[in-house]
Amino acid sequence: MFGNTVFTQVKRCENKKIADITRFLRANDLSIDTTVDVFITVTRDEQLIACGGIADNIIKCVAISEAVRGEGLALTLATELINLAYERQHTHLFIYTKSANEALFRQCGFYTIACVPGIMVLMENSATRLQRYASYLTTLRVDGPKIGCIVMNANPFTCGHRYLIQKAAEQCDWLHVFLVKEDTSRFPYEDRLALVRAGSSDIPKITVHRGSEYMISRATFPCYFIKEQSVINHCYTEIDLQIFRQHLAPALGITHRFVGSEPFCKVTAGYNADMRRLLADPASSAPPVKLVEIERLTYHGMAISASWVRQLLVKKDLATLELLVPEATRDYLQHMLAAHEQRAADKQPEFALTTGEK
């Protein structure tokens, strides 16, 4: 407590307080982020005047009432959020924030690693961690005139993913495959990684990498302070590809990035188009990376996708599903269904089979 100013932790389950935070954020032209686990609120005379949230190791939803700006409250709130994150065993911290807040978080020991000028910045609490990760990647470098890269979710790993890897590897001296590091999907990250490695183990000249927090995922990207979907998509692409082109691709000597064609999803198709432009943009000081689009593998005229596999899993259509996935994925999904049915038979609480993941 500072005078009549009170700092309070609010957990996601405290519905009334979360409703108050939601209203406060809206009044400050922000939306609440559903991934936030805990908020810190600042009240004065029982009125909410500031708040900020933590989602794993990302600081989000920082808002200060205009009436109290200039009091130094923002720096105190930021310090409280950082201390809370440390208490929750998160020491590697990121913050996505408006460009206007960049100076504030610099005072708290954060450093800008990517930005969309005038809109947003991505910062982390280390001046050297990204450089250290890039240095680690150089130890995995294989030199050659054509070094490829694929970044995928593999949610789960399908014959389509395998086809993309196989076709890309055939065109390269070496291929680096990165699995986006997130654990918000139906399939745990470690399982997805194991399936990618098992399903591509016979393909030569590839390295399957663990993902890193520098491969930005849509699960972690914030939309709470950007209202227009087109701007959200642009910022996501810009931040993700800045880090890739300036730091990760040079470390591995990557010259080409491979993607599957996207006949259905306009967002992904737009991302591919933006990627082609940004990776070759001559305004960047980093070496260009050429985008190569490979026609997706089809089954009965329909592109094989992870979302299709998830739909078949919900329907328990194993006969079709096993035609779309490698053997390791088939066995994994069969085991998953068997476990689900066993729980139902035992009348234990069930987990829902959903198709909502990206």
User: For 278-332, what is each residue's pLDDT tens digit?
Assistant: 999 999 999 999 999 999 999 999 999 999 999 999 999 999 999 999 999 999 9
CA angle at 47 for the pair 45 and 53, rounded to the nearest 5°: 125
Whether the CB-CB separation of 294 and 165 falls below 8 Å is answered with no
Q: Per-residue pLDDT for 67 more than 90?
A: no
Domain boundaries, the chain: 5-93, 130-300, 303-345
* Mean pLDDT confidence for 137-145: 97
What pLDDT score does 358 carry? 44
* 36 in Cβ contact with 53 (< 8 Å): yes
Handedness of CA 280, 281, 282, 284 (dihedral sign): negative
Q: Which of 43-47, 193-197, 264-268 has the lowest mean pLDDT?
A: 264-268
CA 51 to chain CA centroid, Å, is 24
At 332, list the tokens: 């994994």
Homologous superfamily, domain 5-93: Gcn5-related N-acetyltransferase (GNAT) (3.40.630.30)
CA angle 21, 115, 100 (to 5 degrees): 50
pLDDT at 317: 93
229-243 helix and 266-279 helix, angle to the nearest 10 degrees? 40
CATH 3.40.50.1000 corresponds to the domain 130-300: no
- Name the amino acid, one letter, at 97: T
> In whole angstroms, what is the distance from residue 239 CA to residue 222 CA?
11
Q: Give the Cα separation of 225 and 28 in Å (integer).
A: 10
Would you state the pLDDT for residue 230?
75
Q: Is the dihedral of CA 88, 89, 90, 91 positive or negative?
A: positive
Residue 338 CB burial class (10 angstroms; 0-12, 13-18, ≥19): exposed
Secondary structure letter of residue 265 according to DSSP: -
d(CA 88, CA 40): 13
Model confidence pLDDT, tens digit, residues 163-191: 999 999 999 999 999 999 876 667 999 99
The answer, yes or no, to whether residue 350 has pLDDT greater than 60, is: no
For the chain, report the end-to-end CA distance as a whole number of angstroms. Answer: 43
One-letter amino acid at 69 equals R
Q: Say yes or no to pLDDT of 69 above 80.
A: no
Q: Omega of the bond prior to 282 within 30 degrees of 0, cis?
A: no
- Taking the C-alpha atoms of residue 172 and residue 56, their distance in angstroms, rounded to an integer, is 37
Distances (CA, A) of 189 to 158, 210, 211, 310: 15, 10, 10, 16
